[in-house]
Structure 1
Amino acid sequence: MESMAKTIEKRIQREAHILCFGFPAQGHLSPILQFCKRLASKGVKVTLISTCTTSTTSKFIQTQASSIKVEFISDGTEEEKSKATSPEDYFERYKVCVSQSLSEFIEKQLNSECPPKFLVYDSIIPWIFDVAKSFGIDGAPFFTQPWAANSINYHFLQGRFKVPLEEPIVTLPSMPPLRVNDLPSYFDVNGTYPLSLDLLVNQFSNIEQPNWLFCNSFDKLEDEIVKWMASKYPVKNIGPSIPSMYFDKRLESDKAYGLSLFKPNTDTCMTWLDSKEIDSVVYVSFGSIAALEKEQMEEVAWGLKRSNSFFFWVVRESESEKLPSNFLEGTSEKCLVVSWCSQPEVLAHKSVGCFMTHCGWNSTLEALSFGVPMVAMPQLFDQTTNAKYVEDVWHVGVRVRMNEAKLVTREEIELCIKEVMEGERSKDFRRNSEKWKELAKEAVDEGGSSDKNIEEFVAKLLSS
């Protein structure tokens, strides 16, 4: 019986080989890697492609994600990259080099025993679709932002609103009224982020062509927006793309993403958290990209101290010099500061009662999925929109307010932490967070909305 099952699985793998292209950034690679694992668990062969070319990263991914194959292709030589005169020029060179190296990779795969039938690609590089189609391979984008942000990008591309805003409030289908600071940061009135605006809005430049639009979200989380988008396009949520051991446990030993561009100190983190009481710790992280100004870093530090809570703070090595002098010595009894950690393990720990976050989508979705209330302190990109939803739609936390100097003061940080940890609304935040946790688990579990979407995709692929 067992040998027959293996024979069937091998036959299926010969019939369906899926390529997935991940953009080489932490927040983009982690969710698509999890999607790859889910696809592989359905019996198809999956190859993850990226341009992270360091041998150490390659080895780590391959060790932690044995169910899939990982390949790296060239994004140009260091000499070629150094010739870029601007970010726009860099990404144009990236497009030229990756189009060529991906074409060469696909050509080799087409001559293999199990040629690819489909290519899933990061939505911020929509031109990958054209590369796939040139070889007769179908493709679909994978959105790493929520539909709230995606739909804003879509409506902007459709001309439904302009920047600078003509009115103080933007009204869009199936969304709450949005102020300018609720829109993604690349809609800045001063044109501060032109490259980001082009990259992220242009995700929808060929939206009419793919037969699937995958997204790292789940139906009930963004119910109204998903229904509106799905009435026009083939939207398929497959999230939350979070390690299986925290939810359905159907993917054996899947306790971590299997990729980290930074080295976590897991033992130290868990030992410290184990020594704290339930819901007593404020976990603080601003992700892998955001860089706070020194003055803002100091306000965060003193605000955390003033809250009088235990706090666990991830401060990347490149950011550590911004900490106030003698801060660590003066707070050592109340805090742990590390350069990186395994965030799912931390958020799943019983001692964590609040997450002070930049509201990157992976972090926001993880907090929702683990039932942890939030203090939202957005920095860039879709984070401002995510923070709006954290406070006003999902009701799982509060959003900090800046003063006239665009600074979040220590007093504001103290106030927000106390509001979430012990304020009048703290029980409501916890109750709502638990609700979203259960709905997230339901989505990825067997027969859930996200699981059904993956099953439908694989079945369609096998029948084509």
Structure 2
Amino acid sequence: MPEGVISGDLDSCYATMLLRMGRNLPKAKAVAINSFQDIHLKLVGELKDRFQSFLNIGPFSLKCPPTWTSDEHRCLEWLDQHEYASVAYISFGRIATPPPHELIALAEALEECKVPFLWSFRGNVDEKLPKGLIKRVGSRGKIVPWTVQLLVLAHPSVGVFVTHGGWNSILESIIAGVPMICRPFFGDQKINMRTLEKVWGFGIGLQGGVFTKNGAKEALELTLLRKEGWEMRDKIRGLKENAYQSVGADGSSTEDFNTLIDIITK
């Protein structure tokens, strides 16, 4: 379970938020979430029994795709130069960042594995990553301050997404059909990682839950270079198809969205 539910600081803002949500959500006329029904049919069925109206109206990235598509750092052009499912795409979102020793461990693993990588990196590369890294990896690596993540994940050369495991990032990876390596930090991220591993089977966590050079190398090689990685891609492809079907004209998310509109306008 996430910290703040049965362990950790039970008086924290996060724990207090979860407590208030648990008390008030059953009273709601409708609970609408950014997900789709086929993502976990058993769980969705249980939630439908608990709430007055439980509605899956996502994935939002498919229902309302972002209009900002500028690729100012020419990431897609760089990806065009690499083979199918060979690139590790790395991004930890807008808030979480691994501590300095983990960033160095990941960078060293990428260098030693010799896998191509695209890293959306917040901060000063020269200060936080090993000296001379960019020069040593050459065209095999590209580090930029920002990417159009949906377009990057959808590129055929991307083979794995190294992520913090936030829900939006997981949904974007699913609709792109890209397996994941998760380094969770807080909130729902740890339980999301466990779901990727134990329920869906197209994502993995790290040994000990943090980046070490050997642990990162093992995860990268498993997802990009071994048969397990191809099996993950086969599994996620099925859920990707379900996601697209859900937002179609007769899809379950479309039906739930129409139900939400009816509830609001009555």
With structure 2 as the length reference, what TM-score do the two structures score?
A: 0.92
Kindly indicate whether residue 2 of structure 2 is the aligned counterpart of residue 184 of structure 1.
yes
Q: Distance in 2 between matches of 1:338 and 1:323?
A: 13
Q: Distance in 2 between matches of 1:242 and 1:190?
A: 33
* Aligned residue in 2 for 1:420: 223
Contact 2:58 2:253 in 1 (8 A): yes
Displacement, 1:265?
A: 4.7
Residue of structure 1 aligned with 2:59, choices 222, 240, 255: 240
Kindly indicate whether residue 120 of structure 2 is the aligned counterpart of residue 314 of structure 1.
yes
Rg bigger for which structure? 1
Could you tell me which amino acid in structure 2 is paired with residue 256 of structure 1? P
Residue of structure 1 aligned with 2:234, choices 409, 431, 434: 431
* Aligned residue in 2 for 1:256: 66
Kindly indicate whether residue 90 of structure 2 is the aligned counterpart of residue 284 of structure 1.
yes
Cα RMSD for the two superposed structures: 2.2
Q: Distance in 2 between matches of 1:289 and 1:319?
A: 17
Q: Distance in 2 between matches of 1:319 and 1:202?
A: 41
- Residue ranges of structure 2 left out of the alignment (5+ in a row): none
Contact 1:298 1:324 in 2 (8 A): yes
Alignment coverage as a number of residue pairs: 265
Contact 1:311 1:336 in 2 (8 A): yes
After superposition, what is the alpha-carbon deviation per residue over 1:114-172, rounded to whole angstroms, capped at 9, x for unaligned? xxxxxxxxxxxxxxxxxxxxxxxxxxxxxxxxxxxxxxxxxxxxxxxxxxxxxxxxxxx
* Aligned residue in 2 for 1:227: 45
Kindly indicate whether residue 186 of structure 2 is the aligned counterpart of residue 388 of structure 1.
no
Displacement, 1:188?
A: 7.5
* Aligned residue in 1 for 2:211: 408
CA spacing shift, 1:355–1:447, aligned 2, 3 Å: same
Relative contact order (C-alpha < 8 Å, sep 6+): which is higher?
A: 2
Q: Distance in 2 between matches of 1:257 and 1:185?
A: 35
SS for the counterpart of 1:337 is: strand
With structure 1 as the length reference, what TM-score do the two structures score?
A: 0.54
- Residue ranges of structure 1 left out of the alignment (5+ in a row): 1-182, 245-253
Q: Distance in 2 between matches of 1:435 and 1:341?
A: 26
SS for the counterpart of 1:408 is: coil
The alignment-based identity, stated in percent, is 28
Kindly indicate whether residue 9 of structure 2 is the aligned counterpart of residue 195 of structure 1.
no
CA spacing shift, 1:188–1:327, aligned 2, 3 Å: farther
Could you tell me which amino acid in structure 2 is paired with residue 205 of structure 1? R
Q: Distance in 2 between matches of 1:278 and 1:412?
A: 24
Q: Distance in 1 between matches of 2:173 and 2:187?
A: 19
CA spacing shift, 1:460–1:340, aligned 2, 3 Å: same
Contact 2:73 2:147 in 1 (8 A): no
Shift >6 Å, 4+ stretches: none
Q: Distance in 1 between matches of 2:18 and 2:131?
A: 39
After superposition, what is the alpha-carbon deviation per residue over 1:258-285, rounded to whole angstroms, capped at 9, x for unaligned? 59xxxx7545111111222211111011
Q: Distance in 2 between matches of 1:216 and 1:230?
A: 15
Matches within 5 A, 1:38-437: 183-187=1-5, 189-191=7-9, 194-233=12-51, 234-244=53-63, 255-256=65-66, 265-317=71-123, 321-402=127-208, 407-437=210-240
Q: Distance in 2 between matches of 1:351 and 1:461?
A: 43
Q: Distance in 1 between matches of 2:61 and 2:77?
A: 23
Q: Distance in 2 between matches of 1:318 and 1:217?
A: 35
